[in-house]
Structure 1
Amino acid sequence: MNLVVQGDDVDGVALKSVARLTSASRIEQIHPGAFRLVDARPAEDLATLCENACLDWTWVQAGRRLSDFKLFVTDMDSTLINIECIDEVADLQGLKAEVAEITEAAMRGEIDFTQSLLRRVALLKGLSEGALEQVYEERLALNPGAERLLRHLARNGIYTVLVSGGFTYFTDRLRQRLGFDEAYANELEIVDGKLTGRVRGPIVDGAAKAAHLCRVRDARGFAAEQVIAAGDGANDVPMLNAAGFGVAYRAKPVLRAAADCRLDHVGLDGILALFE
């Protein structure tokens, strides 16, 4: 196995320490912030050493290439983008703290996602539809590396899907902006320009996210090992379990435990450095 080590500012001393600890045969530079430690071996203190040096580390099978993958599926809120959209919409209703508390508990897996979503959406009743546009234009930003990642995935012919427990208002715009092939999310009910506090249609929860991944995968004839999935919260666990390679981006502990790769320091384009 190879060990890929990444960071915003990789300290040479720390990198050599990781190489010695894992008995790597050599160090290959991928780019200034990423290195491949060839023929590395697991070591008990690896996580602590990398954490202290602010390094992300991922075990990758030797010879695995980005072109080996055919499908990329990602979550939106706090993964592709820097916010939880529902929390920011609630802020315009003066309810951010209350809604954000529910969101955080759901992302940690402490409460049922569907019930948490219905509770949060109900609190938005009466809010103008214009609040959604305000959040998109003024508060939503892509997480570092998102655009570069999507460009390279497209160049490699990888099919891309955005699937979210958030809202179609945002996923539809991001699909067009970033060139996703498909996008799925919850649809807010809007009547006379105001949110009713309800959601139209089935809820996109963790099981639905995984179902969308499997449906697209099977419809296009891909194998599970040809799928990369990325997320940050508990409702992304089923999706990562259905993928051949799971990425936890700035993730909650419950998802980190289910992932093949954890990115806590570099951007989403750190995924690209993992493969030869």
Structure 2
Amino acid sequence: MKLVLQGPQASLGLLHTIAALAAPHSVHVLSAHALRCANVTCDSATRAAVQQAAQAACVDATFIDSAATLRDYSLLAMDMDSTLITIECIDEIADMQGLKPQVAAITEAAMRGEIGFADSLRQRVALLKGLDAAALHRVYDERLQLSPGADALLAAVKAANIKTLLVSGGFTFFTDHLRARLGLDYSNANSLEIIDGKLTGQVAGAIVDAEAKRDTVKLVCEQLGIAPSQAIVMGDGANDLQMMAIAGLSVAFRAKPVVQRQAAVALNFSGLDGVLHILR
């Protein structure tokens, strides 16, 4: 096993101190804020000690097979809201109606797995009834930002000839714009019903929930002629767990606790490109 330690604010001295807890055979400096430790001790007590020290230092600690590299994968599948981008689009749309607190509370409960995703989406979209569709453009233009490290991650996977999929419980208005802007290969999301330039408060067509996300990953893998084990899947909410479960590498990005507990990798402090250090 290898241990990768990385933290945007962490010094190499601090990282070496944490690394020593795992008694590595050798330590390689990856950047000014990242180390790779080879042939580490990885029993449960050691893992717990490393994770505790790393958390206290705002450092991401990842134990992973020494042989794992980016070359092992042929697809990168990403959630959109709070993963590829920093916002929850529906919360920001609701803010145009003065309803962000109500909608955000439902979003949070759904991402924690406390409410079924499909029901939560219908509840939230219903609150948007009558909103001018121009609000979608305002959210995209004024509030949507890529998560830290997104550009670097996408550049690296494209250079490695890895295909990209954006699969979201959000809306096609945003996934379509991002797919075109970022040169992504595939996308799937929900469609907001719009009539006469106004949101009707309904979702058009089937809802992209946890099962649909998983099935989308499976379908794209079939189209590419690869196994799901050749996919990296990144997400942050409970509705990402099913697609993460079939992946070769599951990455929880600044995720809810229920997701962090089940993912192979948890990035709480690093950017999306933290995956690249792990798979070097």
Q: Do these two structures clear the TM 0.5 threshold for a shared fold by scoring above it?
A: yes
Gaps of 5+ in 1: none
Residue 23 of structure 1 aligns with an amino acid whose one-letter code is A
1:17 match: 17
Report matched runs for 1:1-276 at 5 Å.
1-42=1-42, 43=46, 44-276=48-280
TM-score by length of 1: 0.98
Q: Structure 1 vs Structure 2: percent identity of aligned residues?
A: 49
TM-score by length of 2: 0.96
- Distance, in Å, in 2 between the alignment partners of 1:219 and 1:182 is 11
Alpha-carbon contact 2:11-2:32 (below 8 Å) kept: no
Alpha-carbon contact 1:233-1:252 (below 8 Å) kept: yes
Give the CA deviation at 1:264. 0.7
- Distance, in Å, in 1 between the alignment partners of 2:222 and 2:29 is 36
Give the CA deviation at 1:243. 0.4
Residue 266 of structure 2 aligns with an amino acid whose one-letter code is R
- Distance, in Å, in 2 between the alignment partners of 1:258 and 1:185 is 24
The SS at the match of 1:19 is helix
- Distance, in Å, in 1 between the alignment partners of 2:142 and 2:128 is 19
1:168-216 Cα offsets, whole Å, 9 max, x none, are 0000000011111011100000000000000111100011101000111
Residue 6 of structure 1 aligns with an amino acid whose one-letter code is Q
Give the CA deviation at 1:17. 2.3
Residue 127 of structure 1 aligns with an amino acid whose one-letter code is L
Alpha-carbon contact 2:8-2:33 (below 8 Å) kept: yes
Alignment length (residue pairs)? 276
Give the CA deviation at 1:12. 3.3
- Distance, in Å, in 2 between the alignment partners of 1:18 and 1:196 is 54
| Runs of 4+ with deviation above 3 angstroms | none
- Distance, in Å, in 1 between the alignment partners of 2:15 and 2:152 is 25
RMSD between superposed Cα atoms in Å: 0.9
Give the CA deviation at 1:18. 2.1
Residue 120 of structure 1 aligns with an amino acid whose one-letter code is R
1:8-50 Cα offsets, whole Å, 9 max, x none, are 1223343222222111011101122211011111203111100
Alpha-carbon contact 2:229-2:246 (below 8 Å) kept: no
Gaps of 5+ in 2: none
Alpha-carbon contact 1:11-1:53 (below 8 Å) kept: no
- Distance, in Å, in 2 between the alignment partners of 1:179 and 1:59 is 32
- Distance, in Å, in 2 between the alignment partners of 1:165 and 1:171 is 10
